[in-house]
Structure 1
Amino acid sequence: MTPADPALARTDATPDDGAVPDYVQALERAASYLNAEQRAMLRRAWAVGAAAHVGQSRKSGEPYITHPVAVAQVLAEQGLDVETLVAAILHDTIEDTPLTRAEVAAQFGETVAELVDGVTKLDKVRFANRQEAAAESFRKMLLAMSRDLRVILIKLADRLHNMRTLGAQSPEARRRIAIETLEIYAPIAQRLGMNLMKAELQDLGFRMLHPWRHAVIEKRIRSQPLVRREALAQIEARLAQRLAMEGLEHRLVGRVKTPWSVYTKMRAEGRSFDQVMDVFGFRVVVGSVADCYHALGVVHAAYKPLDGRFRDFIAIPKANGYQSLHTVLFGPYGSPIEVQIRTREMDLIAERGVAAHWAYKAGEQDAGNSAQSRAATWIANLVESQRGTGSSLEFLENVKVDLFPDEVYLFTPKGDILALPRNATALDFAYAVHTDVGNHAVTARVDKRLAPLRTKLASGQSVEIITAKSAVPSTQWLEFVVTSKARTAIRQQLKQLEHEDAVQLGHYMLDRALGAQGTALDRIPMERLDAFLAENRYSRLEALLADIALGNRMPSQVALALAQPPDAAPEAAQAAPAGVPQERILITGGERGVISFAQCCQPIPRDDIMGYHTAGKGVVVHRLDCPNIAEYRKSPERWVPVDWAREVAGNFNVSIRIEVENRPGVLAQVAAAVAQAESNIDKVEYLERDSSIAVLRFGIEVTDERHLAEVLRGVRRLRVVQDVQRG
């Protein structure tokens, strides 16, 4: 039966029929820039792909091969090379058909096989959930991207065609895929400068996620009032006339807003539809950079520019290679006129981004290389950061932070330009310069004035980072950095420092236990130590020491095994010399990971304390009057002597229990009294409450017991407070 729609004719044709389906002909028209040999290779790829996918259908009922060919057509419209188009046609074969990577490499070359393999998802690996699978698939795709940028171009085109044909999916699948597109793939396209693809992905994602909102906004955009259409024509005619009078060859086009851009602006700025649409947009495309600045003067003469709304992305390009002049003019009807001015090459790169690199002929690739090299640098930074993340989900969250491109442009002391996300701090800048600079940062000079590392930066500022060899990251840094590179590097360094602390503490604990056996670690024969490490599967002594510190091995048992000669009786090594000194671990407040403070009693400096060796946690510090002490006394071998150092730095968590009159404004009075004593409040909860009395528990931070006493005195002075105590 012949289909009613001629566009659907012969979709089920295979290479054996001798007929070339319409969808293949459409691809060949889009790829007409290829030579005859390359077009023959493209036809051969379709034959191989159609044979591999024979019998497979999409949910819409079409033969599956129509999808990869459509993906190749999207890329052909971007001007991509033949290897990318062939890989696009075959991108699902390794995953979904009997065709192997080796067969693809044998028929089309190693480069095509590498591209196909890079796009292939990890369906054969078992994951805990769908989110983890998607995150791990993304990590693999990123690593393939780092070897060849074309992998992500195929993946983006694949996602674009899937979004165009998403109607056949279930509502739940449509929503999930739309969210993923808006959160990951559209921002990646934007980060790579591919604005045409980004705009379509965003609009399709919006349509699937909020179909009613999309329909309403689209209808209102289409039904613009006559007054607006006349105003648009008048402004366009005036700008075109002024540019022509100056002898500037140009292309002037009105910019039409998409439903997604209207929707996001309405939400982000709290504007109505009419306020968002009351902005006219034009793009001026000219021949050279000099013409861009000439055209800027012309449009400023035609309409007055709005103060503070000019941006020069030609002198300082965006991180994705985008270049253009942006200005906002005061229109004839009081409405703003947004104008972008750029060269033809800049316009191509703005629309196609990294894909523009392959659209240039040999010897004319400078403009394309800019976007490609910037994208390659970004991906290299992502690859570096993914090595330090613990899980694929954590890595994906870090990448999302980097994908939203509101940027600030900053200068190094040498005049180099760095682009960072909006709200980036001086510490983000330090890590952008180099990981070692970030790890040893102490403070910053912003425009030659000293500023703390948490200072938020603004475009145009000059930043210098002051470092010290002794400086190390702290967990507080994670609270104010915004870039994934900084976050990953800080976490990695904190883990390293915790490991070093664990090794040091484990060394102390083992030495003390060996001392009880009448020996020391440096007196244990190397052969005996190596044999113990091998028997217990430790690659190095440091791993054993860290395990001891974390409570996974008891130091007394390890000491017994090391101190006892192989031929000695088991009892021989157990006799400890009398009077072995019990050296205490002194707590300074700078401990990381292996020494923690119990939440059951919340010890603070000057409290009488003890340490309990807890499996997986290291040494947990308790107060001697902790209610759990009686239980811990049953395991004296786990006790660790600890005490406060003479100088203790930092803030410590403690709870206070306050009984107050139950009336309006009481909570604010108590909070103000705590703040006046220079203490931070972490949390507040009601323990009891009736018509006259309320019992509150405040979680606060103090430096020591004296500071806590000062807070308690300040709260007691309040008339509404009936009782306050540590609790």
Structure 2
Amino acid sequence: MGGADFTQVAMIDREAERKEILRHYRRLLRYAKPFLKDNDAKIIKKAFNTSLEAHKDMRRKSGEPYILHPLAVAQIAVEEIGLGTTSIVAALLHDVVEDTELEISDIEREFGPSVARIIEGLTKISGVFDYGSSQQAENFRKMLLTLSDDVRVILIKLADRLHNMRTLGSMPRHKQLKIASETMYLYAPLAHRLGLYAIKSELEDLYLKYTDTDTYKDISYKIRQTRSARNKFIKDFTAPIEEELRKYGFKFTIKGRPKSIYSILKKIKKQNITFEEVYDLFAIRIILDVPPENEKAACWQVYSIVTDFYQPNPDRLRDWVNTPKSNGYESLHTTVMSKPGQWVEVQIRTKRMDEIAERGYAAHWKYKTEGTVSESALELWINKVRDMLESNTANALEFMDEFRKNLFVEEVYVFTPKGELIILPDRATALDFAFDIHTQIGLQCLGAKVNQKLVPLSYRLHNGDQVEILTSQKQKPNDEWLQYVVTSKARSSIKDALREERKNKVEEGKDLLRQRLAQLKVADSQSNLNKLMAFFNVPNVQDLYYRIATGHLDVKDIKEIVFSSAAEKSPSILEPKTFDKEVQKIRGVNSDMLVIGEKTSNIDYHVAECCNPIPGDDVFGFETEDEGIVIHRTNCPKGMELMSNYGNRIVKAKWTEQKELAFLAGIRIKGTDRFGLVNDLTKVISNSLKVNMRSITIDSDDGIFEGKIMVFVNDTGHLDRLIQRMSKVNGVLTVERFDK
């Protein structure tokens, strides 16, 4: 009897699930309908059925049927990225080859070569979830290779990652940290570079939600609290503009949207201000419906209307209508002063520009008219990626790092002597410009003329500079050049040249040493080389040869005495490990205080200097090769890189309840200067809470002081109480913890 009931419940569940799956599938078709051609609906149905069959007994961590994941990825691809039938089919099938018996050749036979190629690309890079460092970086490089074949691979990968982030709640904590960090490290910058701003912002916010939950909740609560006041403000602000736009006969929509939680936090940290002080918490977006040939004129006309009502801030005008960003972003931004005395960012763009801003690459294709030959800035960037992949000789991790550096940057627009526009990343130098023109010109670059004036290689370019490069056959790169460049092309070319040069020098040094040993009648043996390395304190034989060739080590200093046993030198410096232990002794961190991993046994660990965690902070452990486990805060930027690249070495860690120990923490204070203020602050520190102070530095300028105080506290609660008391001291405006 009980068995029959159970079966019935299971059947009802199955029925409910079947309905749920069909609801998602029909929604997908509804969104796809506008662009479906002759046979498309049939192909999508076939892909859906193939995927349904392939995943029929599989469930996700949350317990729901697996098929809902490929359906969600396909939905994101259509609705949020604007991709078409081929991508829907590929998204529906993206896990099939990996999870079932089906081969790529079966997919090609059933769905054609384009879908097969995209799925092959996605299968190749599915390993980005694999744990491990260089393995993951290698997968990343593969992913970029597929980007140069077909950008849809990356777009579907982004849709896949976005859905994984949206459903991260059902994953265990260490997986959440790993996936969130990897997302922030790689996928958010990639979405940014491909012009998918809405997705980029959501990924950043979700990263924050899982790595710094309290801050995320705090800011989102404050945004909700201010919503009705904000809506009223937007209404009042836009009313006169709307009236005027109608008078001129414009078709338009106006949106007021709050900035993302992550970007608000970034601003708070960067400008060292409170939530209440962030003046542009939201942007007003005016979207015009005008034909392409009138776009520029219409945007500027609307700018003129807005600034008739509100005073613009002249330093905050950004014209990406005439010179789009290299990810294709076009818009006119201005910041104006509203009637209540608040700055407001106003973005003016057309429907086409808005779609490109939200959907990036996919929208470019949609607006590409027949017969246009000119490549969009985004395509030019993808060609650059292609070159970068082909010319790159660095190892995968180094490459990934280089590539990331180029994802998030703003651009600088400069010109060649003939007036050709070159777009380089912000902070690019004359030397970057030289390498951008041609590798050979870069390698022989002596200096440059910018706007007819001579400048050094390290000169940082500004918008509108006209640059002429000066070269010499005798010029050669040196190590210092690496500090002058920001582009990958320049860095990898310089590194290649230096490697080649070093190889030659090593050979040269080897010959010189052989000659010297022959003169001394000493055998050219490994043990004698070891003695030389020990005597001159050189880490390896390559370095020894190199120093001899470059004259840093004079061969005449190599004498018979070096090879006698009396010349053994004892190491003079404290070993790094003992040094760390000394610091630890002073800081009072010991291994009873943390529970690491699943076991509570004492494990050798120490606290990361980059983020100085103290009890109460949300932390994780990272297994290093030689220093045991290092404890980082989960929101530490260095930690993000570690979690993303070396997920297999992450161990769970949390503080225990012991509170009698002291930890070093930094407090930053700002306020108005007055006599006796330092005395009042130090009283609060030493009297009321029995806190020891290690150092205090205070700078005063024009009646405003800024101070940094290093104190020993027990945990975050202790620190918070101290901060609260200090903020009550007369004249103190802000008190906050800082990491370094």
Q: Same fold (TM over 0.5)?
A: yes
C-alpha spacing 1:11/1:496, structure 2 compared with 1 (3 Å): farther
User: Could you tell me which amino acid in structure 2 is paired with residue 618 of structure 1?
Assistant: Y
Question: CA offsets, 1:363-386, max 9 Å, x none?
Answer: 49889x62542342342243245x
Q: How far 1:443 moved relative to its partner?
A: 0.5
2:82 is aligned, of 74, 79, 82, to: 79
How far does the alpha carbon of each residue in 1:103-158 deviate from its partner, in whole angstroms, 9 at most, with x for none?
A: 1112112221111111124678999x622222111111001111111111011001
Distance 2:462 2:554 in 1: 47
Structure 1 equivalent of residue 321 of structure 2: 314
Q: Which residue among 394, 400, 407 is the counterpart of 2:404? A: 400
Distance 1:346 1:378, change over 3 A: farther
Residue number among 411, 430, 434 corresponding to 1:426 in the alignment: 430
Cα separation, 2, equivalents of 1:307 and 1:123: 48
Offset, 1:422: 2.6
Once residues 381 and 151 of structure 2 are traced to their aligned partners in structure 1, the CA distance between those partners, rounded to angstroms, is 8
Contact kept, 8 Å, 2:279 with 2:344, in 1: the verdict is: no
Once the two structures are TM-superposed, the CA of residue 215 in structure 1 deviates from its matched residue by 1.3
Alignment correspondent of 1:103: 106
CA change 1:70–1:552 in 2 (3 A) is farther
Q: Which residue of 1 aligns with 2:449?
A: 445
Q: 1:187 aligns with which of 164, 186, 189?
A: 189
Aligned to 1:135: 137
TM-score normalised over the length of structure 1: 0.68
Q: Taking structure 1 as reference, are residues 176 and 28 closer, same or farther at Cα in structure 2, changes over 3 Å only?
A: same
> Who is 2:53 aligned against?
51
From 244, 264, 268, the equivalent of 1:242 is 244
Question: In the alignment, residue 323 of structure 1 is paired with which amino acid?
Answer: E
The equivalent residue for 1:11 is 17
CA spacing shift, 1:28–1:259, aligned 2, 3 Å: same
Correspondence 1:686-705 to 2 at 5 A: none
1:632 counterpart (563, 566, 574): 563
For structure 1, which runs of at least 5 residues remain unmatched after alignment?
14-18, 516-550, 555-596, 604-611, 635-654, 656-727
Give the TM-score normalised by structure 2.
0.67
Q: Tell me what 1:460 maps to.
A: 464
1:347 counterpart residue number: 354
Verify the 8 A CA contact 2:280 2:345 in the aligned structure 1.
Answer: no
- Residue of structure 2 equivalent to 1:382: 388
Equivalent residue number for residue 302 of structure 2: 295
Q: How does 1:558-577 map to 2 (within 5 A)?
A: none
CA contact (8 A) 1:354 1:375 kept: no
State the one-letter code of the partner of 1:62.
E
Cα distance change on mapping 1:279 and 1:94 into 2, 3 Å: closer
For 2:129 and 2:512, the matched residues in 1 are separated by: 42
CA distance in 2, matches of 1:36, 1:133: 43
- Partner Cα separation in structure 2 for residue 552 and residue 341 of structure 1: 74
Matched residue SS, 2:376:
helix
State the distance in 2 between where 1:305 and 1:411 align: 29
> Residue 114 and residue 624 in structure 1: after superposition, are their counterparts in 2 closer, same or farther (change >3 A)?
closer
Distance 1:165 1:494, change over 3 A: same
Quote the Cα distance in structure 2 between the aligned partners of 1:8 and 1:629: 86
CA distance in 1, matches of 2:352, 2:14: 37
2:376 alignment partner AA: S
* TM-fit CA distance, 1:620: 5.1
CA change 1:196–1:375 in 2 (3 A) is: farther
- Alignment of 1:496 with 2:500, yes or no, is yes
Secondary structure of the corresponding residue to residue 430 of structure 1? helix
CA distance 1:59–1:280, change in 2 (3 Å): closer
Letter in 2 for 1:392: A
* Amino acid across the alignment from 1:376: I
Question: Quick check: 1:478–1:487 contact (8 Å CA) kept in 2?
Answer: yes
Match in the other structure for 1:29: 30
Deviation at 1:100, TM superposition (A): 1.1
- Structure 1 distance, partners of 2:179, 2:456, is 42
Q: Which has the higher contact order (CA 8 A, sep 6+)?
A: 2
Which of 208, 215, 218 is 1:216 aligned to?
Answer: 218
Gaps of 5+ in 2: 1-6, 566-571, 573-740
| Percent of pairs with identical residues | 36
Which shows bigger deviation, 621-630 or 60-69?
621-630
In structure 2, the CA distance between the partners of 1:126 and 1:355, relative to structure 1 (3 Å rule), is closer
Give the equivalent residue in structure 2 for 1:547: none
The match for 1:283 among 282, 285, 291 is 285
**Hey, what's the Cα distance between the residues in 2 that align with 1:623 and 1:598?**
14
Asked if the contact 1:255/1:281 (under 8 Å) is kept, the reply is yes
State how far apart, in whole Å, the 2-side matches of 1:553 and 1:102 are: 55
Partner of 1:325: 332
- The alpha-carbon distance between structure 1 residues 552 and 290, as it changes in their structure 2 partners (threshold 3 A), is farther
Within the candidate set 160, 163, 166, 2:162 is matched to 160
Aligned partner of 1:139: which letter?
A: R
What are the superposed Cα offsets for residues 621-646 of structure 1, whole Å, 9 maximum, x if unpaired? Answer: 45679699535379xxxxxxxxxxxx
Within 5 Å, give how 1:559-598 maps onto structure 2: none
How far is 1:316 from its partner?
1.3
* CA shift for structure 1 position 66: 1.7
Q: 1:428 to 1:508 in 2, by over 3 A?
A: same
Q: 2:545 aligns with which of 601, 618, 629?
A: 618
C-alpha displacement of 1:440: 1.4
Structure-1 separation of matches of 2:311 and 2:123: 53
RMSD: 3.8
Aligned mates of 1:106, 1:49 — CA distance in 2? 16
Distance in 1 between the 2:125 and 2:298 partners?
50
Is structure 2 residue 475 aligned with structure 1 residue 471? Answer: yes
Q: Displacement of 1:615 after TM fit? A: 6.7
The answer on whether the counterparts of 1:95 and 1:121 sit within 8 Å (CA) in structure 2 is no
- CA–CA distance in structure 2, aligned partners of residues 342 and 325 of structure 1: 6
Q: Secondary structure at the match of 1:473?
A: coil
Q: Distance in 2 between matches of 1:406 and 1:290?
A: 25
TM-superposed deviation, 1:207: 1.2
Distance 1:420 1:360 in 2: 25
Query: What letter matches 2:379 in structure 1?
Result: S
Q: Are the counterparts in 2 of residues 266 and 276 from structure 1 also a CA contact under 8 Å? A: yes
Distance 1:2 1:613, change over 3 A: closer
Deviation at 1:190, TM superposition (A): 0.7
Structure ID, larger Rg: 1
Q: Secondary structure at the match of 2:108?
A: helix
- Of 136, 149, 152, 2:151 maps to 149
Distance 1:614 1:625 in 2: 18
Mark the CA change 1:283 to 1:381 in structure 2 (over 3 Å): closer, same or farther. Answer: farther
State whether structure 2 residue 160 is matched by structure 1 residue 233: no
Distance 1:8 1:289 in 2: 56
Please tell me whether residue 305 in structure 1 is matched to residue 312 in structure 2.
yes
